[in-house]
Structure 1
Amino acid sequence: MTDSADHCSVWTVPADHPALAGHFPGDPLLPATVILDWLDELASEAFGRGLAGASTQAKFLRPARPGERLQARLSAKPNGGFGFEIRIGAELAVSGRSMPASGPSA
């Protein structure tokens, strides 16, 4: 994804992250919810809105493990949504998009 409205960030998964404790003993991996929380924070910083109330689709292609460096790129779309990719090294780990919810908000 390349666009003048791209927002990039990097995060290294801490070996002592609390979500790793039970996910999974002996073979820890970062739960998808933690990755989505990080994306929510990045989108809020970049675009002034996060994932809450949006229609979000994500494909998790590879697990993230302790000590790995995650590289996120969020790209604004003309419809008010954004696309995203997370890479671990050169490997695509997560891809997806988030679009504003249609209809009245609650």
Structure 2
Amino acid sequence: MDQCSPSDASYRTVLCVASDHPCIPGHFPGHPLVPGVLVLEHVARALREWRGLRLACVREVKFLAPLYPEESAELELVGLSGQVRFEMRREGKVLARGVVEGAS
């Protein structure tokens, strides 16, 4: 896991959701993929680890391609004047991106 210190302008981490996660069997039976809400939970966790903030608002989010159980993806957060932009990539391909706000 590649992480930067809280004073850095960006933060990176790797996420991988296990195939036995409780939400996987119902999303979708026979063709499981990681639900968007779980991706946002990883964004919230990264924001907490990086800046010590809780996720207060999701300004925008776009899911461009699925993340499947057991696949690794890189999550990057970049601070932008009170907001945080995130991108989740697998092998260079953007899977999700958006803008969130944090609060203490």
What's the TM-score bracket when you normalise by the shorter of the two chains? 0.7 to 0.9
* Unmatched tracts of structure 1, length 5 or more: 102-106
1:43 partnered with 2:47: yes
Structure with the higher fraction of residues in strand conformation: 2
Hey, what's the Cα distance between the residues in 2 that align with 1:21 and 1:55?
A: 26
Check if 1:64 corresponds to 2:64: no
CA distance in 2, matches of 1:50, 1:56: 14
Distance apart, 1:56 and its partner CA = 2.4
Residue type at the aligned position of 2:86: F
Deviates more, 1:57-66 or 1:41-50: 41-50
Mapped to 2, the partners of 1:19 and 1:64 lie a distance apart of: 13
How high is the TM-score relative to the length of structure 2?
A: 0.84
Distance in 1, Cα, partners of 2:74 & 2:17: 11
> Number of matched residues?
96
Which residue identity lines up with residue 59 of structure 2 in the other structure? T
Provide runs of 4+ in structure 1 moved above 2 Å: none
Q: Secondary structure at the match of 1:18?
A: coil
Q: Distance in 2 between matches of 1:98 and 1:38?
A: 12
TM-score when scaled to structure 1? 0.82
Q: Please, which runs of 5 or more residues in structure 2 have no aligned partner?
A: 1-7
Whose Rg is larger?
A: 1
> 1:98 is aligned with what amino acid?
V
- TM-superposed CA distance for 1:100, in Å, is 5.7
